[in-house]
């Protein structure tokens, strides 16, 4: 021993009293003292319940104040109106779960619908081939967003704001600012309009597009909750560094998320052609913001990692129920937008307060 100091005791004395200490590491205060607390607990564990309850309440209220609202006609109109926004909201949900945002989804949709229309109607390709090529370009556009975000490390907002403009100018150049008329599609490529057909139910039709929306939502729900890729999408949005250290290939997952989002937009392009029965370069201008609105109202957090596909579909329905309901109740159009805006703010406020309660 080179110094004369007495050896320090290796077991620290101050911990001796621990023998008598309470052995429980941490106990959880049961948060069920009042009904409100208990309700908050249930909502926190089942975040999809909130949009579901809001939707139910809205339907009941509009059913009372607007005479025609609960008729099958109005309900099938809502489903028709919601279809395209719903598809884009599904794509947007994937992106927002990774704490990203995609402002270019609407432009991808329109540009790929123009490609499908042009190839099928003007170039005379079979509808199936035209659709596949259109979806392929939609995938490429999504992948471009993903590569710029994951590899060049640019913020998603900036990247997709840029590609929004780029895709927008491309769509005007490609289409020469001209629409493809309904009569031409009916004559040369009726297959493009297939999703506008539907099953007749007591005087109102449920379009194949709406049914497909539900099917796709189910598929995505399964992927997000029952596959490793879905877990990784959540983990990346939650904490990208932790995800990387856990061995997740963050870059590849991010690129795949934007790619899949693009692909969904490409598929939605086909649905959109069926919905409006023509192809126009200036349609679906609002779908970008409408998709974000639906996702947020559906309870998915813009900060990533938390949210659900089902919530986004419900969110899209909530917005449309408000718009249709207010319109049937005779409220001016301006106030419909006003109501949608209020909904977004209330939804985020609710999300924040639940989050605080969980910390």
Partner 1 sequence: MTQQPILQATGLMKRYGTVVAMNGADFDLMPGEILAVIGDNGAGKSTLIKALSGAVTPDHGTIELDGKPVHFRSPDDARASGIETVYQNLAMSPALSIADNMFLGREWRKPGILGSVFRQMDKPRMNAFARQKLSDLGLMTIQDINVAVESLSGGQRQGVAVARAAAFGSKVVILDEPTAALGVKESRRVLDLIRDVRARGIPIILISHNMPHVFEVADRVHIHRLGRRLCVINPKDYTMSDAVALMTGAMEIDGNKAA
Which residues here bind partner 1, judged by CB under 8 A?
Answer: 1-3, 5-8, 10-12, 14-15, 18, 21, 24-26, 28, 222-223, 226-229, 231-232, 234-235, 238-239, 241-243, 245-248, 305-306, 358-359
Nearest CA among 228, 269, 230, 236 for reference residue 139: 269
Least Cβ distance, residue 19 to partner 1 (angstroms) = 10
State which residue, 103 or 150, has the beta carbon closest to partner 1: 150
With 0-12 / 13-18 / 19 or more C-beta atoms within 10 angstroms meaning exposed / middle / buried, residue 348 is: middle
With 0-12 / 13-18 / 19 or more C-beta atoms within 10 angstroms meaning exposed / middle / buried, residue 244 is: middle
Cα-based distances in Å from 320 to 14, 82, 290, 324: 65, 6, 10, 6
Q: How far is the C-alpha of 131 from the C-alpha of 87, rounded, in Å?
A: 16
Least Cβ distance, residue 51 to partner 1 (angstroms) = 18
State which residue, 19 or 33, has the beta carbon closest to partner 1: 19
State which residue, 14 or 334, has the beta carbon closest to partner 1: 14
Please say whether the beta carbons of 305 and 39 come within 8 A.
no
Please say whether the beta carbons of 319 and 340 come within 8 A.
yes
- Joined tokens for residue 199: 């099953």
Least Cβ distance, residue 309 to partner 1 (angstroms) = 16
State which residue, 353 or 358, has the beta carbon closest to partner 1: 358
Least Cβ distance, residue 144 to partner 1 (angstroms) = 26
Q: How far is the C-alpha of 283 from the C-alpha of 314, rounded, in Å?
A: 24
Q: Which residue reads 């109501």 in tokens?
A: 339
Please say whether the beta carbons of 92 and 272 come within 8 A.
no
- Joined tokens for residue 88: 């884009």
Least Cβ distance, residue 304 to partner 1 (angstroms) = 9
Least Cβ distance, residue 286 to partner 1 (angstroms) = 31
Q: At what angle do helices 127-150 and 250-276 cross, to 10 degrees?
A: 140
State which residue, 5 or 34, has the beta carbon closest to partner 1: 5
Least Cβ distance, residue 281 to partner 1 (angstroms) = 38
State which residue, 256 or 324, has the beta carbon closest to partner 1: 256
State which residue, 26 or 152, has the beta carbon closest to partner 1: 26
State which residue, 48 or 145, has the beta carbon closest to partner 1: 48
With 0-12 / 13-18 / 19 or more C-beta atoms within 10 angstroms meaning exposed / middle / buried, residue 303 is: middle
Q: Which long-range contacts (CB under 8 A, 24 or more apart) does 224-233 make?
A: 224/94, 224/97, 224/308, 224/309, 229/253, 229/256, 233/94, 233/97, 233/98, 233/257
State which residue, 228 or 337, has the beta carbon closest to partner 1: 228
Cα-based distances in Å from 27 to 24, 31, 253, 286: 7, 12, 37, 49
Least Cβ distance, residue 47 to partner 1 (angstroms) = 11
Least Cβ distance, residue 160 to partner 1 (angstroms) = 24
């Amino acid at each position: 021993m080179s110094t004369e100091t007495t050896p320090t005791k290796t077991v620290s004395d101050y911990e001796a009293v621990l023998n008598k200490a309470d052995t429980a590491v941490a106990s959880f205060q049961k948060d069920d003292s009042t009904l409100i607390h208990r309700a908050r607990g249930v909502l926190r564990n089942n975040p999809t319940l909130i949009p579901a309850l809001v939707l139910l309440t809205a339907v009941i209220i509009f059913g009372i104040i607007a005479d025609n609202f609960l008729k099958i006609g109005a309900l099938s109109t809502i489903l028709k109106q919601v279809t395209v926004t719903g598809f884009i909201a599904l794509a947007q949900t994937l992106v927002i779960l990774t704490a990203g945002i995609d402002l270019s989804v609407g432009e991808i949709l329109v540009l790929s619908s123009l490609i499908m229309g042009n190839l099928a109607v003007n170039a005379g390709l079979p509808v199936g081939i035209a659709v596949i090529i259109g979806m392929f370009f939609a995938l490429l556009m999504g992948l471009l967003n993903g590569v710029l975000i994951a590899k060049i490390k640019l913020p998603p907002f900036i990247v997709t704001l840029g590609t929004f403009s780029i895709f927008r100018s491309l769509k005007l150049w490609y289409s020469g600012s001209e629409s493809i008329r309904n009569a031409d599609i009916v004559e040369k490529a009726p297959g493009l309009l297939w999703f506008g057909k539907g099953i007749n139910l007591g005087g109102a039709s449920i379009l194949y597009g709406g049914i497909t929306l539900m099917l796709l939502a189910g598929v995505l729900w399964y992927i997000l909750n029952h596959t490793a890729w879905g877990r990784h999408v959540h983990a990346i949005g939650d904490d990208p560094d932790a995800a990387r250290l856990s061995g997740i290939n963050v870059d590849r997952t991010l690129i795949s998320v934007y790619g899949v989002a693009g692909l969904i937009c490409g598929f939605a392009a086909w649905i959109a052609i069926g919905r409006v029965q023509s192809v126009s370069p200036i349609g679906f201008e609002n779908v970008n913001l409408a998709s974000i609105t639906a996702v947020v109202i559906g309870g998915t957090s813009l900060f990533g990692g938390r949210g659900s596909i089902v919530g986004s579909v419900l969110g899209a329905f909530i917005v449309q129920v408000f718009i249709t309901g207010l319109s049937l109740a005779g409220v001016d159009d301006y106030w419909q937008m006003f109501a949608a805006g209020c909904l977004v703010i209330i939804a985020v406020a609710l999300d924040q307060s639940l989050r605080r309660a969980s910390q």
